Amino acid sequence: MADAPQFEKKEHSGGSEGEARDGLTQTPTTLPMREGWFLPLFRLQGCWLTPQRVESVKLVQAQFNPRPDDVLLVTYPKCGTTWLKALAFTVANRSRHPVAGGHHPLLSHNPHDLVPFLELPDRTLYLVAELEALPSPRLLCTHVPRALLPPGTLPLGCRRLVYLCRDPKDVLVSTWHHAQNARLIEFDKAFELFCEGVSVFGPIWEHCLGYWDLSVREPNNVLFLKYDEMMAQPAKHVRMLAEFLGVPFTVEEESGGVVEEVVRLCSFQNLRDLPVNSDGVVAGRIGAMPTKNSMFFRKGKVGDWENYLTEEMARKLDCIIEEKLRGSGLTFSQSVCHST
Ligand code: PAP
């Protein structure tokens, strides 16, 4: 896997919008809109996006060219994207960057700077061409739901896609904390919006279901992971990831403890405490404002929702999720929908 380049802000040269797809030629002002979070959200093909993200996703739709050997990491925001990027980068690049070496890129780079997003930074300012310039095989990431994947991505064929999901209650809490960096929002308000499916890249159930369904249809090309299971058995999941990426651990690596080294290097505590992540700031990674790397390392716990949601709120959200996922085979182990 190639290292991700540092993106430079460039003048946009325009470019074809490609074929008109439902909603993709509409400007945000003509799309359905909801207020409530730190920015108004617009509904593009069933997915709630900030105005900036609408434009960025449209540019990716029009200009991004998938390659057969791309590896795509996909998450709904706050499901463990930073962790998955760290793990996938480390596993895929370990012949070039020894995991235990003192010069590993993760020691000096936030994981987001090693694995680029398709739709971030804002593609109206940072060209999609930057992604096209990356050598193969590319390790890329996206938050877009299945319906908004760039044309040509599906069916996956020989492409590989790793999807990571998380208990929606913990996602809500993490999202709420993240949003506080931009604007104070009451937790109750955030809860109601989230239950309606109105959050960036939401509804979360449609996001999960779209990729769950894909994993059922194309099991050889989709690795579907859950944050709480990864937290419970990180070494097992690192091995699964390596197998899936086509670079299984050798007998020598196993006996040399490389799997455990990967787990340790990418662990929440280790990454959070690195100076690059505790003090580092990146301009333009998410929006116009510089982003503190520490924003991506809050608690890193399973079940922190218990500190924020009442029993009634937890049951309400779980029952909504359970109803939306009914019949799919996808469940979340922390569900309290039917507990008394
Ligand atoms: P993003 O989608 O905006 O990039 P993402 O990385 O998915 O963010 O979300 C951050 C969450 O992952 C945080 O969860 P919390 O708010 O519940 O604490 C963050 O702490 C957690 N996280 C970040 N790095 C790791 C890691 N190495 N291991 C486990 N959890 C992590």
**Residue with CA at minimum distance from ligand 1 atom 28:** 268
CATH number of domain containing 118? 3.40.50.300
Residues of the chain above pLDDT 70, percent: 89
Is 335 domain-assigned?
Answer: no
* 85 in a structural domain: yes
From the list 143, 177, 178, 338, the catalytic residue is 143
**Strands 71-75 and 47-49, how do they pair?**
unpaired
Q: Which residues contact 115 (CB under 8 A, 6 or more apart)?
A: 4, 73, 85, 88, 89, 139, 140, 141
Active site residue 143: yes
Does residue 164 fall inside a structural domain? yes
Q: Which residue has the tokens 């790397």?
A: 293
Confidence band for 335, pLDDT divided at 50, 70 and 90 = confident
Count of structural domains within the chain: 1
Pocket test for ligand 1, best of 82, 173, 233 (most atoms within 8 A of CB): 82
303: left (phi over 0), alpha (psi -120 to 50) or beta: left
Average pLDDT on 92-105 reads: 94
- Closest-CA residue to 148 (of 202, 83, 193, 112): 202
For residue 297, the CA-to-ligand 1 centroid distance in Å is 6
Chain segment 134-145, per-residue pLDDT in tens: 999 999 999 999
Domain range for 150 is: 15-325
- pTM comes to 0.92
Which tens digit of pLDDT belongs to each residue from 242-256?
999 999 999 999 999
Per-residue pLDDT tens for 153-199? Answer: 998 888 899 999 999 999 999 999 998 877 778 999 999 999 999 99
Question: Is residue 287 in a domain?
Answer: yes
The residue-averaged pLDDT of 209-227 equals: 97
In ligand 1, the atom with minimum distance to the C-alpha of 272 is 24
**Mutation pick for ligand 1 pocket among 278, 292, 296 (CB with most ligand atoms within 8 Å):** 296
- HSE on the CB side for 330, CA within 13 Å? 27
